[in-house]
Amino acid sequence: MKKRLVVLAAMTAALCMSALSVQAEGDLITVGFAQVGHESDWRTASTKSAEDVFSEENGYDLQFVDCDNDPATQLEAVRGFIEQDVDYIIIDPIVSTGWDTVLTECEDAGIPVIVIDRTIDDSDKYVSWVGSNFLTEGIACGQWLKAYAEAKGIEEINALVIEGTKGSSAQIGRTDGFNQVAEENGWTILDSQDGDFTQAGGQEVMESYCKSYEGQFNVVIAQNDNEAFGAMDAMKAAGVSYGPNGDVVLVSFDGNKPIMESLLAGDLTAVFECNPLAAPDVEKVIQQLEAGEEPEKEIYMTESWFANEDVVTSIEIDGEEQPVTQMTEDVLANRAY
């Protein structure tokens, strides 16, 4: 009899623990995140930011889908989140159009959508967008190059551009911003091709450039860090020198630690930051919605510009003077990603 009572008590305790577990799980806020993919160091940092913030310890259940740079897979992922009846959906859109139908489905299901990083241009059926001003990044790159060329006595700019994924808002904004300054200053853009934000893509495009434009270019604009690494590999193989002490001014966008190490080492001349740590700002939006408050429609990340030398210490953008930080060991040590 005593043995049966012990077994019964154990079963009761197990049932109680199970009930508590279900209750605890029920208290979690479920977040579905349709990520672009894993094509770059920047993307890895973006994903880790979301995993750190939207953890079970912080009161969240994160449903994550790596969409592997496939727009159709991303739409399918969002529809999967709707079927799961998640509380919130985060989308980093691979392309900027083709979203209105699925965002209408989210709206009809009563699931708020938060867009991060890249933008959606054919629908406004989302609560907030959190990210970078890609046009400003492109303009900053152009304005820095203008000041740098003047300081260094470079009279002609003959640039090659390795673009990011065609149709992404990052590619569009950075291209438009840089081209705006290039046109104002009469620079020559010899070519501009898609490197798909990957190291392999950047290397392939740069290999082609080295053959087609041998001896003709003195600037290479890589629209992300991984493309810049690919460009370095290609130029090194072709015997083209780059960086502050080379024949080619090489610049990059994003600013992850590996590229900052290369900037400090003198492999690049400048880097224009694109902050990947959007998740804390996204959480603020979610907490505002949970409290019945209305968040801002657009939330811009804080970003900075960096250079190997202190030749250019500031640039003017939209009438505002913005600092250019010289990369040092201390600056590198304090980088968050």
Q: What is the DSSP string of 49-109?
A: HHHHHT-GGGTEEEEEEE-TT-HHHHHHHHHHHHHHT-SEEEE--SSSSS-HHHHHHHHHH
- What's residue 17's pLDDT? 38
Closest CA to 174 of 123, 227, 212: 227
Cα torsion for 205, 71, 65, 203, to the nearest 10°? 0
Tell the residue number behind the tokens 């009469």, with chain if given. Answer: 186
- What's residue 302's pLDDT? 86
Q: Which domains does the chain have, with CATH numbers?
A: 24-132+277-300 (3.40.50.2300), 134-274+304-333 (3.40.50.2300)
What residue ranges of the chain have pLDDT lower than 70?
A: 1-26
- What's residue 4's pLDDT? 34
Pairing of strands 249-254, 270-273: parallel
Q: How far is CA 66 from the centre of its chain?
A: 14
φ and ψ at residue 26, rounded to 5 degrees = -65, -25
- What's residue 18's pLDDT? 37
Give the pair of three-digit tokens for residue 68.
């592997």
Length, in residues, of the chain: 337
- What's residue 26's pLDDT? 57
Amino acid identity, residue 89? Answer: I
Rounded Cα gap, residues 136 and 145, in angstroms: 14
Rounded Cα gap, residues 260 and 233, in angstroms: 17
* Helix extents (H) in the chain: 2-27, 41-53, 71-84, 100-109, 134-152, 169-185, 199-212, 225-238, 257-265, 279-290, 329-333
Sign of the Cα pseudo-torsion (15, 18, 20, 22, in order): negative
